[in-house]
């Protein structure tokens, strides 16, 4: 039987897993609530409950392993608290020390740039915060690794906590025109 592959625009508040794998989670929303995935489908990597954006899914464990490796770029658009400065961007680009599994870890160099215009994502169901609490800015961060809540830890470390995080690209696959919560079946996930 041929493997099947999907891309999904994961909404805020959903766990990157299937209910059958997470029975201990009460009153939570799972990927299976969004689409009738075939048996054996797994999320490639994770987006935490508070994150949104591109999530790839497959029935092929080998493909999943290749994509989660450090050879495939993952790009995120991140709304941060405050107007980020060049010094903070420089620190992000060259690696910052974060905690990972109770150890300290220095992130690999990455691409981090200020976005001139805020991206046009659908409004989130839960408000991020009121404008009167100060300015925000959007940055693009592209990494080749993916430690638990890494991007959030990185922006906090340089003094600009993450308010909203949306993954927009994995390798050459992008969100394109997917609407929030929608799924598109793909022929393959690797070039």
Which candidate in 33, 48, 85, 176 is catalytic? 48
Instruction: Look up 50 and say whether it is catalytic.
Output: no
Report how far apart, in Å, the C-alpha atoms of 154 and of each of 22, 42, 68, 77, 119 are.
Answer: 28, 27, 19, 13, 21
User: What's the angle, vertex CA 50, arms to CA 30 and CA 47, rounded to 5?
Assistant: 65
Question: For residues 128 and 84, what is the distance between their CA atoms, to the nearest angstrom?
Answer: 18
The answer to whether the CB of 75 falls within 8 A of the CB of 141 is yes
- Known catalytic residues are 48
């Amino acid at each position: 039987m041929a493997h099947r592959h999907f891309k999904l625009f994961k909404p805020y508040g959903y766990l990157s897993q299937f209910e059958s794998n997470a029975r201990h989670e009460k009153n939570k929303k799972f990927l299976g609530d969004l689409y009738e995935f075939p048996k054996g489908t797994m999320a490639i990597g994770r987006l935490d409950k508070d994150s949104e954006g591109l999530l790839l899914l497959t029935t092929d464990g080998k493909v999943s392993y290749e994509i989660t490796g450090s050879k495939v770029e993952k790009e995120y658009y991140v709304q941060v608290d405050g107007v980020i400065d060049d010094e903070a961007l420089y620190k992000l680009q060259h690696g910052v020390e974060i905690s990972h599994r109770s150890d300290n870890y220095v992130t690999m160099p990455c691409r981090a740039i200020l976005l001139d215009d805020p991206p046009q994502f659908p409004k989130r169901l839960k408000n991020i915060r009121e404008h009167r609490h100060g300015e925000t800015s959007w940055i693009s961060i592209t990494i080749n690794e993916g430690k638990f809540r890494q991007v959030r830890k990185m922006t906090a470390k340089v003094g600009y906590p993450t308010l909203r995080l949306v993954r927009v690209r994995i390798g050459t696959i992008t969100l394109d025109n997917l609407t929030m919560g929608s799924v598109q079946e793909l022929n393959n996930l690797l070039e």
